[in-house]
Every structure is written in structure tokens, then in C-alpha cells.
Amino acid sequence: MNEQVKAYGLEEAIAAVAAHGSITEIYFVACGGSYALLQEGQYVVDREAKSIASFGYSSAEFLARTPARLGKNSLVITCSHSGNTPETVAATSYARKAGALTISLTNLAGSPLDEATENTVFYEWDPVAVTDKHNSVMLLLLVLGILQKLEGNDKIELVKKAVPALHEMGETLKQKYAAAAAEFGESHKREPVIYTMASGANHSTAYAFAICLLQEMQWVHSACIHSGEYFHGPFEITDFDTPIIILKGLGNARKMDERALAFAEKYSKRLSVLDAEDFGLEAVAGEAAEYITPIMFNLVLRLYAIELGDRRGHPLTVRRYMWRMEY
């Protein structure tokens, strides 16, 4: 796998961090779906790093905050699929000017982001298939590769061993959840509001589903509720007809999801539950399984969104503002 990965810039980016020698903090900066993606990486650093601090910001917020600490001990990881997101390109340029090391993930060589950054990691992305160059896979290998170099963390070995199994796992899950996705689409096609709920590694997955799949691609009202925050406000919105998609993760965060689900089950008859324990990730990734859950949740949730769009006669590709005007 190493030979292939190298052509995508992954090994070079990790080597650049190691060569730099004094990175003590990592900023994860992007917009929308890419911001959600990078939060998967931030979660890993938070859980694993012994001494490296990590922060997540939406690109425009990062530019507005201009943290005074940002400088030569900072690594700024940015991401834009098209490489054209203006705020993310600007954030990358700003970070470089502040003396930070920059690594950017993108699908497009020669894009403004690829030009603006010091180190580019390219990825591939198919919303309905997992490959070993998948954006989440590349990000996971990047952050764990960095933690291996800087702190001797060895979780990357577990992930490298698991990656070749992920494509097949994804194909199996697509079959396994096809009927449930179709049922979700049919039974939710008239819902004006659909909530998503998760925590830990999957909180940003639920966020992405709420803002990109439901709000953006379906024009369906949505909000992402954090399973741990549910009991401190949002749970009062729960009623027999409140639709909530609940993601049950792995690892320490799982108990938050379980508690929220146990409560929601008592008062809503409109829950859709996806449980990472049904994915078979622990068998292939061991203690790193938690970090791979967003990949499989994103895949299964995509099926749900496609079926919803199909039943609503509203394909996921339709927009009313994006691609249609300047803003």
C-alpha cells in the first residue's frame, strides 16, 4: 500500500511534519462537509495525542478569530474537495503567512488550494463506495502517521491492516441496509423536520448529514443534536412524531448514544437507529475501530438520503443557490 499512498502525497506530508521538528498543535480548518470530515481527524488527535493540542474551526471563523498562538509551532490541516472553497484557500494562505506548516486535502491537483498550501494530500471520493484513497481513510492515515512520527503512537498499524477490508465491508453494508434505507425514504418523505443525533467520532457525521444531506440537498429542516447535550435542552422537543436518526458509535462515546437512545425510544415512535456494532469494524480494526465508524455511517446514511430524495422526487444534485449564482 505504501507505494500507492506515496503518489497521493501522504508520506511526503507526514515527513514534512517530522522534518519540521516542533509542531505542538494542529488546527483543522475547512467548510461544511469538509469541516465535518476534518473533525474526524481532530477527534483522533484529541483521543490519542499525549502532548499535541488540536482545534477545529470553520474556515471563515478561523480567519475571523486569528488565534494569537498561531505560528511556527502550528500545523494547519485544511480541506476542500474541489480545492476552490475561497474561505479555505484564504485560511491556508493566512496560516502560511503566520508561519504555520500547512497540509491540505483535496481531490483536485492544480486547484487554488493545491497552489496555496505547502503539502497536498490527494484523495478520491465516491459517496457510495469506500476505497483505500477515500477522504476519511487518507485523513486517518495522515493524522495517525503524524502521531506515529511525533509521539510513537502505533494505532496507524491497526488502520493500515484494516483499510484493505473496508471496500468489501462497505459493499456488504450497502446490501444489508438497502431495505432499511428504502423504508426510511418512504416513511419520511413527508417529514418537514428530521433530526440527527450522535457523539464522539460521529458527531461531525451527524452534523454533515443535517447540513449537507438534509438542509442542502433535500431542503428538509434539520439539526444535529449531540447525544450528551440531548438531556440539557433538546430532549424536550422529543414527541411521538419527532423523527430522529441516532448513530450508536463505538468506544467511550457509545454510552452517551445509548443513554440518549434509551430515553428517545420511550417517547418517539419515529427513531431510525444505526449501530456501529453491526458493521463488523472491531474485527478488522481492533482498538482503532471507533475512528473508522464515520466512514461506514456516512456510507449507510448516503443510502438513506438517496432513498429519501428518490421518494421526494428531489435528487441530491438539485440546488437553488449553489452553482446557480454568485454569493
Selected from 38, 210, 261, 276, the binder of a copy of itself by CB under 8 A is: 210
Kindly tell me which of 85 and 104 has the beta carbon lying closer to a copy of itself: 85
Grid coordinates given for 311: 421518494
The HSE-up count of residue 169 (CA atoms within 13 Å, CB side) is: 25
Q: Whole-number minimum distance, CB 38 to a copy of itself, in Å? A: 13
Q: Count how many Cα atoms sit within 13 Å of the Cα of residue 182 in the half-sphere of its side chain.
A: 5
Contact between 147 and a copy of itself by CB under 8 A: the answer reads: no
Interface with a copy of itself, residue 323, by CB under 8 A: no
- Given the rule CB under 8 A, which of 99-107, 177-185, 271-279, 316-324 is the region that contacts a copy of itself? 316-324
* Residues 156-195 close enough to bind a copy of itself by CB under 8 A: 192-193
Q: How many CA atoms lie within 13 A of 133 on its CB side?
A: 18
- Residue 315 interacts with a copy of itself (CB under 8 A): yes or no: no
Work out how close the CB of 77 gets to a copy of itself at its nearest, in angstroms, rounded to a whole number.
16
Is residue 235 a contact point for a copy of itself (CB under 8 A)?
yes
E strand intervals along 14-118: 25-30, 53-58, 74-79, 101-106
Does position 135 bind a copy of itself by CB under 8 A? no
- Integer angstrom CA distances of residue 86 from 98, 147, 155, 167, 207: 18, 29, 34, 32, 21
Closest to a copy of itself by CB, 58 vs 119, is 58
Among 182, 263, 280, 310, binds a copy of itself (CB under 8 A): 263
Q: Among 40, 114, 132, 216, which residue sits at the site for a copy of itself (rule: CB under 8 A)? A: 216
- The distance of closest approach from Cβ of residue 233 to a copy of itself in the complex, given in angstroms and rounded to an integer, is 4
Distance from C-alpha of 144 to C-alpha of 287, rounded to nearest angstrom = 13
Q: Which is nearer to a copy of itself, 6 or 319 (CB)?
A: 319
Dmax (CA) for the chain in angstroms is 57
Contact set for a copy of itself, span 53-82 (CB under 8 A): 53, 55, 58-61, 63-69
Say how far apart CA 249 and CA 253 lie, in whole Å. Answer: 7
- Judged by beta carbon, residue 40 or residue 216, the one nearer a copy of itself is 216
Helices (H) and strands (E) in the chain, counts: 13, 9
Identify residues 86-105 at the interface with a copy of itself (CB under 8 A): 87
In the block, residue with C-alpha cell 498561531: 70
Taking the CA atoms of residue 284, residue 285, residue 287 and residue 291 in that order, the dihedral angle to the nearest 10 degrees is: -140
